[in-house]
Amino acid sequence: MPTPSITVLSAVNVLQCGGHKDITAAELTKWLESRTKHEQKEPVDKLISMKEAATRLGTCKRTVRNWIASGKLPARKQGTRYVRILEKDLADFVANLEARPVTVATDTQGEG
């Protein structure tokens, strides 16, 4: 059986507090197995910091902050202070950057 999760601990708390006195051990086991299978089907995407995103992109934290402010890079506020980026959103952002054509400015005034 997988390591105890919040669901398992919640079930134990319900039983300890006397919430469901008529549940049997077999019913509890069946319920826990169905919950753990359900939890395993939903992958949780890792949240990374702006600093980590900047490191992965080879840029500075300020640039990442500007992309977030402009709406180009989705981010989530975690608490009152920390901004986090889903790895999937960062991967999508990089794919979008790679799909854009690159234009190079040339200096025509210096030639003469």
In a domain, 111, yes or no: no
Which range marks the domain in which residue 57 is found? Answer: 47-99
In a domain, 109, yes or no: no
Structurally, the chain folds into a number of domains equal to 2
In a domain, 23, yes or no: yes
Q: What angle, rounded to 10 degrees, do the helices at 50-57 and 87-99 form? A: 30
Please check whether residues 34 and 68 belong to one and the same domain.
no
> pLDDT tens per residue, the chain (112 residues)?
444 444 555 555 555 555 555 667 777 777 777 766 655 555 567 899 999 999 999 999 999 999 999 999 999 988 888 889 999 999 999 888 877 776 776 766 665 5
Are the CB atoms for 75 and 84 separated by under 8 Å?
yes
In a domain, 24, yes or no: yes
pTM of the predicted structure, to 2 decimals: 0.52
Whole-angstrom Cα Rg for the chain: 24
